[in-house]
Amino acid sequence: METIGTEAGARILVVEDDAGIAQSLVRGLARAGYVVDTASTGADALVAPPADVVLLDLGLPDVDGVEVCRRLRRRGDVAIIVVTARGEESDRVATLDEGADDYLVKPFGLAELLARVRAVLRRVRPAGPVTYAYGPLSVDPRTRRVAVSGVEVMLTPKEFDIIECLAADPGRVVSRQELLERAWDANWYGPTKVLDVHVAALRRKLGVEGLVETVYGRGFRLGRVASPAPPTRSED
Ligand code: CA
């Protein structure tokens, strides 16, 4: 798997076993501002970082594309655009039944692909302000502002990425690997200690005891916070 593109655009996973096709898709999507991950097998696709849109080629070397679609859909509200060759109409219908959002028949042009991607993104990322609110915490992904009890807290970009990831789905345990991928890079091979350093700084700045909870051996999540706490607190 590789990641290309640095813009704060939507994340697209290209599942395609033909390296040439994958490369041209990645190039076109990255140029359009998307962050693109690739997977060349169904197995890779199922362990790829969370994406907003999955472009799923049905003719994969290992797992049946319809099965990949079913499992991706079961995992969450990702938009799935199925890519099929002519003659795979029954598979196409099956994937739509399994929750695929749209399909493209090869060969297709980049302009058509981008239009389909924009259309499904409007569904999964509706326009308008989305602010995550959780107890005293509010996180605005659009402006990248964080407040505790209404008082803005200044965070570094990585601290923001971490709290955004946790606040997007409060209560869910987010693994260390997922946080590293979100805030650093999909291919972070460095020490994971760096994450603890940022989480410690984040906790200090948020100043709410128990808000960012460590789930031992699994990761982090937002903990239950009884009542709004003061926005600042002296150092431990
Ligand atoms: Ca293929």
Asked if the model's pLDDT at residue 189 lies above 80, the reply is: no
Residue range 2-124, CATH number: 3.40.50.2300
Domains 2-124 and 132-222 share a fold: no
What's the CATH class of domain 132-222? mainly alpha
| C-alpha 117 to ligand 1 mean position (Å) | 20
If one compares 231 and 101, the residue with the highest pLDDT of the two is 101
| C-alpha 9 to ligand 1 mean position (Å) | 26
Supply the pLDDT for residue 128. 52
| C-alpha 71 to ligand 1 mean position (Å) | 18
**What is the tens place of the pLDDT at every residue in 204-221?**
999 999 999 999 989 999
Q: CA Rg, the chain, in Å?
A: 20
Supply the pLDDT for residue 222. 94
Supply the pLDDT for residue 190. 67
User: What pTM, to 2 d.p., does this model score?
Assistant: 0.53
**What is the tens place of the pLDDT at every residue in 77-92?**
789 999 988 667 788 8
| C-alpha 15 to ligand 1 mean position (Å) | 9
| C-alpha 76 to ligand 1 mean position (Å) | 24
| C-alpha 7 to ligand 1 mean position (Å) | 28
| C-alpha 182 to ligand 1 mean position (Å) | 28
Other residues' Cβ atoms within 10 Å of the Cβ of residue 126: 8
**What is the tens place of the pLDDT at every residue in 91-135?**
888 888 888 999 998 888 888 898 899 888 887 766 555 788 888
| C-alpha 20 to ligand 1 mean position (Å) | 11
Domain spans of the chain? 2-124, 132-222
Q: What is the 3-state secondary structure (H, E, C) of 54-109?
A: EEEECCCCCCCHHHHHHHHHHHCCCEEEEEECCCCHHHHHHHHHCCCCEEEECCCC
Other residues' Cβ atoms within 10 Å of the Cβ of residue 18: 13
Residue recorded with tokens 């990645």: 26
| C-alpha 31 to ligand 1 mean position (Å) | 23
| C-alpha 116 to ligand 1 mean position (Å) | 20
